[in-house]
Structure 1
Amino acid sequence: MRFEHLALNVAEPKAMAAWYCQHLGLRVRRALPDQAQTHFLVDDSDQMMLEIYCNPADQVPDYPNMHPLLLHLALVSVDPYADSKRLQQAGAQQVDEVNLADGSLLVMLRDPWGLALQLCRRGAALNQA
């Protein structure tokens, strides 16, 4: 098996999809004209999707008050400092910065809706055998 998508119930899927496309470089793979405003987003690897929607069948999680270690969206960044600055200018807020012994740099932000984003520059790639 392989991952297809991760789904998040969010308050403003259309606005969030637009921000993610403009500032994170994601693309809309599919947007459904449904009440939930469902958007499937992909990155440049085209391997897995992020689904964002607003489904009133359950509540939108309180992302701003969730600890970033409970849930975060991790993104590869060649320059986390520059990307963090750029994203903060677009409405994100920096939360934390961690430098690991292996040379990894992890910068934690919150997007304008409070969802935690982690910018990762790894000392050693995680996805290689």
Structure 2
Amino acid sequence: MRIEHLAFNVTAPFEMADWYVAHLGMQIVKRGETGCFLSDKSGMLLELYEDAAAPALDGFSFPPATFHLAFAVDEVENLLRALVKGGGRQEGTLRTLPSGDRLAFVRDPWGFPLQLVSRAGATP
């Protein structure tokens, strides 16, 4: 058994998907009428869709430490700058933990919290 996908009901699934492709290196693997599936290089799927019959996820309604989507990256600083330049909003400061791990929070243009993490001694 493995996780097949993680899904988010959002108000702008296609725009979000395009931003994730352009800025986070994800790929759209399936596009439907109400949303699409994206994949990272590991094959994990993220579904962004819009279902008006259910409440849409409001990323601004919770702090990033409570709920976020994390991306393993080589250079936190460089990607953080690029995401902010591309319409994201940095939340808090870039931190280095005692373990040597580096992490930062950024919200995508729709408010969804993302974490950028570089683990000490690991490669993404």
> Taking structure 2 as the reference length, what is the TM-score of the superposition?
0.93
Measure the CA separation in 2 of the matches of 1:66 and 1:58: 18
Where does the alignment leave 5 or more consecutive residues of structure 1 unmatched?
A: none
**What is the match of residue 17 of structure 1?**
17
C-alpha offsets along residues 6-44 of structure 1, whole Å, 9 cap, x if unaligned? 0001110010000000110000110112xxx22100011
The root-mean-square deviation of aligned C-alpha atoms, in Å, is 1.6
Measure the CA separation in 2 of the matches of 1:63 and 1:87: 16
Structure 1 stretches of 4+ with a deviation exceeding 6 A read none
The answer to whether the 8 A contact 1:102-1:124 is kept is no
**What is the match of residue 115 of structure 1?**
112
> Taking structure 1 as the reference length, what is the TM-score of the superposition?
0.89
User: Secondary structure, in 3 states, of the residue corresponding to 2:65?
Assistant: coil
The total of aligned residue pairs comes to: 123
The answer to whether the 8 A contact 1:13-1:54 is kept is yes
User: Secondary structure, in 3 states, of the residue corresponding to 1:123?
Assistant: coil
Amino acid at match of 1:106: L
**What is the match of residue 65 of structure 1?**
61
Q: CA deviation at 1:45?
A: 1.7
Q: CA deviation at 1:98?
A: 2.4
User: Secondary structure, in 3 states, of the residue corresponding to 1:101?
Assistant: coil
